[in-house]
Amino acid sequence: MPTYRIAPSILSADFARLGEEVRNVTAAGADFIHFDVMDNHYVPNLTIGPMICEAIRPHVQIPIDVHLMVRPVDRIIPDFAKAGANLISFHPEASDHIDRSLQLIRDQGCKAGLVFNPGTPLHYLDHVMDKLDLILIMSVNPGFGGQSFIPEALKKIAAVRQRIDASGRDILLQVDGGIKIDNIAQAAKAGADTFVAGSAIFGKPDYKAVIDAMRVELAK
């Protein structure tokens, strides 16, 4: 059985008590903290920056997985690396030189990821698989939490799984958007191994119960 990872997105957390929220979700069994960065330019929303990443870093020992929904990306990458990010991913449309941006992330000592929106073609992967530690498939259009899962994303997950397996490389396949207890197994069957969930976890009173229920579904 693959190793599955649950990555709660703090986009849905209570920002008035963020340190407590990340400690609680870590204690509940989270594998990563997913950190959504939006710039009101690449996506129509404005969220959080490196200062917040730096603030929560002392509260968690698990990796912080930063998803940059910003354009351009290169300027902000070193700031997040310095703030304590372990993994930084970005959208190919947001970089003029994808290979250079991936190398910049790695040069900062972080793992590097590439993110694909529902309408973004996978050909961007053709010549950069050697620089990837993670590929993230968006199962919603980015910009807002709480959206419904787009079923077509399952085909894209399966296509990326084929590419990863053919490459022979150890690359995580993450899915983000509308992931819940009742559809996480579908995404896993398509080939995903890392699952971002926001409102499905932070919107519930018992984080551990949700994460445990997700793991039960993944084990079936």
Distances (CA, A) of 52 to 2, 55, 56, 58, 209: 32, 5, 6, 11, 27
d(CA 134, CA 116): 11
3-state secondary structure 130-181: HHCCEEEEECCCCCCCCCCCCCCHHHHHHHHHHHHHHHCCCCEEEEECCCCC
C-alpha to C-alpha distance for 138 and 173, rounded to whole angstroms: 11
Determine contact, residues 59/51, Cβ cutoff 8 Å: no
Question: Which residues are catalytically annotated?
Answer: 36, 176
Instruction: Say how many C-beta atoms besides its own lie within 10 A of residue 175's C-beta.
Output: 31
Nearest one of 109, 112, 106, 101 to 67, comparing CA atoms: 112
Q: Which of 57, 8, 55 has the alpha carbon at shortest distance from 34? A: 8
